[in-house]
Amino acid sequence: MTDDPTDTPGESQRQDGTESAAPRRLPVTDVSLVVLIGTSGAGKSTFARRHFLPTQVVSSDFCRGLVADDENDQSASAEAFDVLHYIVGKRLAAGRLTVVDATNVQPEARRQLVAIAREHDVLPIAIVLDVPPGVCAERNRSRPDRQLPAHVIPRQHRELRRSLRGLEREGFRKVHVLRGEAEVAAAAIELEKRYNDLRHLTGPFDIVGDIHGCRSELETLLTRLGYTLTRDAEGRPVDAAHPAGRTAVFVGDLVDRGPDTPGVLRLVMGMVAAGHALCVPGNHENKLGRAMDGRKVTVAYGLRESLDQLAGESEEFRAEVRAFMRGLVSHYLLDGGALVVCHAGLPERYHGRNSGRVRSHALYGDTTGETDEYGLPVRYPWAEEYRGRALVVYGHTPVPTASFVNNTVCLDTGCVFGGSLTALRYPERELVSVEAEREWYAPVRPLITDAPGAREGRPLDLADVAGRRIVETGLHGRVAVREENAAAALEVMSRFALDPRLLAYLPPTMAPSATSRRDGYLEHPEEAFLGYRADGVRHLVCEEKHMGSRAVLLVARDGAALERRFGVAGPGAIWTRTGRAFLADEELTGAVLDRVRSAAERAGLFEELATDWLLLDAELMPWSLKAVELLRRQYAAVGAAAGAALPEVLSALERAAGRGLDLAHLTARQRQRAADARAFTEAYRRYCWPTEGLSGIRLAPFQVLAAEGANLAVRPHDEHLAWIDRLVDADTAVGPAADGTDGASGAGTGGAGRKEPVLHRTRRILVDTEDEASTAAATAWWEELTEAGGEGMVVKPLASPARTVRGEGRPGGLVQPGVKVRGREYLRIVYGPDYTEHLDRLRLRALGHKRSLALREYALGLEALDRLAAGEPLWRVHEPVFAVLALESEPVDPRL
């Protein structure tokens, strides 16, 4: 409570005849700025030491000592108070109770402290020690280190007395006046929790979004959440309790626009009174409360409906409503501070704070000062910048579907506008919704538009990708995207890429292993194993590198699955590393997806992963399926030119040798070039074979990236390969159709009533980097693969993601998610037919940039999958996906 400085507390007489003040309890908010006010010698420092921790007290004398080595040097006061104000600001910013020990008898000194408290949104509290001037003078005379002129204390006391009546007007929210020595000695500080501090309540909670008078939908939602409704004699719901003791929390905007504002209030007020619910105010409660109190407000945005409906209720009920709305607290801290509930959202710096600014933001949010095409204010996107530890749950701005953004979630899903009423089950982070029974109130701005991402409340925006960007990743910190790279990516994304609603992931580039020093080799498994062992990674998996092109597949279980999750109907999509559709033929794309879907269905993956869609990382073969023009222009042309020219050269050299010229060295050199050219032609031809429809196409999945609500890319690789084996087995096991045919029309038929397999197994071998026999076996396996014409292998840590191991087993930085070790003959395609003659020069290749790029793109890819799994809106998922594409335009040797 606020004390009246004109009142004199009651006093009692002790038996010895001296006066003794009754005990005084001084309530002090646990996070506040306490300003001690009193003349020199009033006992402020003694009072501070008695009632507060030494670290909580900031003394002007101490600050003088800091700047002047003398606590009594009054000439240093200006600098000392600069230091004092700085320390006070830092403590308040950290949410610490802070006590200022100074005379503070002058209004200007107090005004600066009140301003600091307001800046940090804490309550300023004044504790006045009104001790007689004679007592103060005597105390000062007894201090050898401080001798004040005789006029100082009387002047300070006059200033103090003049200040008493105006302290509340100066901005102090509580004023405690202690008169005389006895009352000062009898005082006791009583720390009070802030009204919004309910950290001791740990839930579980069911947090309900904006209701706006939709009482029937609220009853349905509470019932679906497991609450049992209690009704009065007239059948109206007046309470709801959960058998498991869960607590409902309402984010405000209970009233206006909808058909039954009194019914919603009666139910919510009953739940709050019974201890079954908490409630914070919305801007509509704030306005309705002022209107019911007779204050002048603009009757708009559904307020008339509420006033008319409440007019039919009793005066007693209306009085209860007014008292209920006046008692609502702007926001609540719950579950140890891990959860914040408010109406319009709240940046972290306001959590648990008390001020008009905090209340205003909690009720109304912040705007940019602009209006949209519907004349509505443009909300400042505070959630996009939020990086706080606490989950902030709010409403206020209607969105078609609730989604998590930077550890925030908006639950206003526009029930009154015909959308839905949504609740968040906490700590489960499960969203539960019920559809609106009808559109009760026509919105000014449509709830859903056709823009990509609009159904999640925030369509894609050019500003999201233009210019220099910084993307926060959980694995690799902040990843920067340069402006020129963003421009290149925007060109690709806008002209050639798939619908961004489907483009949930782009695979990262992959760095080669460290360059080998072995004779005749540019790459060898030995360097990959040694590199991972040096990083502290013991268990690896080596996977066959397929002879095709990287492909990402989004496979739907049924025709409506993608519409439900991604807003785009269809069987799914297949795309390249740059987001383009892999196959130009939509019918062929559908056929491939159907084979994968059928295999996943038979393998039971949809049920096991509780999903109706899957995101797969794969290799689609043959290489010529996508790169036929590249093969014609670059590789076939080299082989054809060598095949035409080198025989003529050898023939000419042989004729010249027949005439007695010594051309043996030159002839041998040309024969080696011819052999290299033949090896080059044979190498690239292994990646080309004819296809017709599905016939000839091979798809080799090697990772199940994501499913509904799950980022599966962080699971160990052996789990992925086990899933893939089941997929391949299910595809291989396709039997005759019911009509005796293979169920296919031509393409993909393998004869004898069976479909030709499309899915291809990824061979692998596990490696222990600390076991020489294990690494030797893997090396022999690689040699066997590559000598048989295979491309090579990819070496990955078995765990995903993997980090280096520091001293005492502590995790360090991110290690390469995989390195490729390519065979000697395949590298002819990359570096040219006669590359083996230039190994010394090629061994100088710089891998640093490529490895850095691989790590950044990998972290961005996993960040996109994390956001997808968390149900974050499209623009949030799209941000790291776009960044991967942008990084692809960084200049790097394409042969690496």
- Say what the pLDDT of residue 456 is: 67
Q: Which of 107-116, 651-660, 874-883 has the lowest average pLDDT? A: 651-660
Q: What is the mean pLDDT of residues 688-702?
A: 88
- Of 109, 92, 856, the closest CA to residue 485 belongs to 856
Please give the full DSSP string across 760-785, using - where no structure is assigned: ----EEEEETT-HHHHHHHHHHHHHH
Cβ distance 33 to 47 under 8 Å? no
Which residues have C-beta within 8 Å of that of residue 556, sequence separation ≥ 6? 562, 570, 571, 572, 593, 597, 612, 613
- Say what the pLDDT of residue 680 is: 73
Task: Assign 360 a pLDDT band (cuts: 50, 70, 90).
Answer: very high
Cβ distance 579 to 492 under 8 Å? yes
- Say what the pLDDT of residue 732 is: 80
- Say what the pLDDT of residue 444 is: 81
Cβ distance 528 to 794 under 8 Å? no
- Say what the pLDDT of residue 749 is: 42
Amino acid at 79: E
Task: Assign 666 a pLDDT band (cuts: 50, 70, 90).
Answer: confident
pLDDT one-digit tens code per residue, 779-788 = 999 999 998 8
CA–CA separation, 278 vs 254, rounded Å? 13
Q: Which 8-state DSSP code applies to residue 258?
A: S
CA–CA separation, 257 vs 212, rounded Å? 6
Q: What is the mean pLDDT of residues 255-266?
A: 96
Q: Which two tokens stand for residue 587?
A: 């019918």
pLDDT one-digit tens code per residue, 159-171 = 999 999 899 999 9
Element (H, E) at 187: strand 187-192
Whether the predicted pLDDT of 330 surpasses 70: yes
- Say what the pLDDT of residue 426 is: 97
- Say what the pLDDT of residue 8 is: 33
Q: Which two tokens stand for residue 569?
A: 């109907």
Task: Assign 21 a pLDDT band (cuts: 50, 70, 90).
Answer: low
Q: Which of 217-226, 363-372, 392-401, 868-877 has the lowest average pLDDT? A: 363-372
**Backbone phi and psi for residue 740, each to the nearest 5 degrees, phi listed first:** 90, -5
Task: Assign 633 a pLDDT band (cuts: 50, 70, 90).
Answer: low
Q: Checking DSSP bridges between strand 205-208 and strand 420-426, what pairing results, if any?
A: antiparallel
Whether the predicted pLDDT of 533 surpasses 90: yes
- Say what the pLDDT of residue 2 is: 37
Q: Which of 40-54, 144-158, 420-434 has the lowest average pLDDT? A: 144-158
Whether the predicted pLDDT of 17 surpasses 60: no
Task: Assign 744 a pLDDT band (cuts: 50, 70, 90).
Answer: very low
Q: How many CA atoms lie within 13 A of 639 on its CB side?
A: 16
CA–CA separation, 3 vs 25, rounded Å? 11
Q: What is the mean pLDDT of residues 76-101?
A: 95
Which residues have C-beta within 8 Å of that of residue 197, sequence separation ≥ 6? 30, 333, 352
Give the C-alpha distances (Å, rounded to integers) separating 199 from 194, 382, 771, 782.
10, 24, 52, 58
- Of 479, 287, 308, the closest CA to residue 864 belongs to 479
- Phi-psi region at 84: left, alpha or beta (left = phi > 0; alpha = psi -120 to 50): alpha
Q: What is the mean pLDDT of residues 274-298?
A: 94
- Say what the pLDDT of residue 678 is: 75
Cβ distance 256 to 309 under 8 Å? no
Q: Which of 80-84, 165-169, 637-641 has the lowest average pLDDT? A: 637-641
Cα dihedral 279, 281, 284, 286 sign: positive
Task: Assign 743 a pLDDT band (cuts: 50, 70, 90).
Answer: very low
Task: Assign 457 a pLDDT band (cuts: 50, 70, 90).
Answer: low
CA–CA separation, 778 vs 767, rounded Å? 7
CA–CA separation, 357 vs 361, rounded Å? 6
CA–CA separation, 603 vs 754, rounded Å? 18
Amino acid at 120: H
- Of 744, 782, 321, 301, the closest CA to residue 525 belongs to 782
Cα dihedral 653, 659, 664, 665 sign: negative
Q: What is the mean pLDDT of residues 257-280?
A: 97
CA–CA separation, 776 vs 110, rounded Å? 78
Neighbours of 577 (CB within 10 A): 18
Cis peptide before 833 (omega within 30 of 0): no
Share of the chain above pLDDT 90, in %: 64
SS (H, E, C) 509-555: CCEECCCCCCCCCCCCHHHHHHHHHHCCCCEEEEEEECCCEEEEEEE
Element (H, E) at 340: strand 339-341
Which residues have C-beta within 8 Å of that of residue 288, sequence separation ≥ 6? 255, 256, 303, 306, 307, 325
CA–CA separation, 124 vs 113, rounded Å? 8
Which residues have C-beta within 8 Å of that of residue 681, sequence separation ≥ 6? 639, 642, 643
- Say what the pLDDT of residue 222 is: 98
Task: Assign 629 a pLDDT band (cuts: 50, 70, 90).
Answer: low
pLDDT one-digit tens code per residue, 350-359 = 999 989 999 9
Which residues on neighbouring strands pair with residue 341, listed in sequence order? 332, 393
Whether the predicted pLDDT of 288 surpasses 90: yes
pLDDT one-digit tens code per residue, 114-137 = 999 999 999 999 999 999 999 999
- Say what the pLDDT of residue 341 is: 98
- Say what the pLDDT of residue 872 is: 87
Cβ distance 554 to 618 under 8 Å? no
Q: Which two tokens stand for residue 620?
A: 């689609």
Whether the predicted pLDDT of 235 surpasses 80: yes
> Across all residues in the chain, what is the average pLDDT?
88
Cα dihedral 776, 777, 778, 784 sign: positive
Q: What is the mean pLDDT of residues 4-31?
A: 57
Element (H, E) at 315: helix 315-326
CA–CA separation, 825 vs 827, rounded Å? 5
Amino acid at 457: G
Please give the full DSSP string across 481-517, using - where no structure is assigned: E-HHHHHHHHHHHHHTBPPTTT----PPP-EEPPPP-
Task: Assign 305 a pLDDT band (cuts: 50, 70, 90).
Answer: very high
Amino acid at 471: V
Q: Helices 315-326 & 283-292, crossing angle to 10 degrees?
A: 130
Q: Checking DSSP bridges between strand 613-621 and strand 698-707, what pairing results, if any?
A: antiparallel
Task: Assign 11 a pLDDT band (cuts: 50, 70, 90).
Answer: very low
Cβ distance 248 to 271 under 8 Å? yes
- In terms of residues, how long is the chain? 896
- Say what the pLDDT of residue 128 is: 96
- Say what the pLDDT of residue 16 is: 37
Highest mean pLDDT of the ranges 399-403, 613-617, 694-698, 743-747: 613-617
Write down the H helix ranges in 234-280. 261-273
Give the C-alpha distances (Å, rounded to integers) separating 383 from 34, 165, 582.
33, 43, 36
Q: Helices 283-292 & 303-311, crossing angle to 10 degrees?
A: 50
Highest mean pLDDT of the ranges 138-147, 493-502, 799-808: 493-502
**Backbone phi and psi for residue 595, each to the nearest 5 degrees, phi listed first:** -65, -40
Cβ distance 202 to 151 under 8 Å? no
Element (H, E) at 598: helix 586-603
Q: Which two tokens stand for residue 232?
A: 């009065």
Cβ distance 402 to 458 under 8 Å? no
Which residues on neighbouring strands pair with residue 208, listed in sequence order? 250, 423
Task: Assign 807 a pLDDT band (cuts: 50, 70, 90).
Answer: low
Which residues have C-beta within 8 Å of that of residue 506, sequence separation ≥ 6? 552, 577, 578, 579, 857, 861, 864, 881, 884, 885
Task: Assign 12 a pLDDT band (cuts: 50, 70, 90).
Answer: very low
- Say what the pLDDT of residue 712 is: 96
**Would the pTM count as exceeding 0.85?**
no
Q: 753 by DSSP, 3-state: which? A: coil
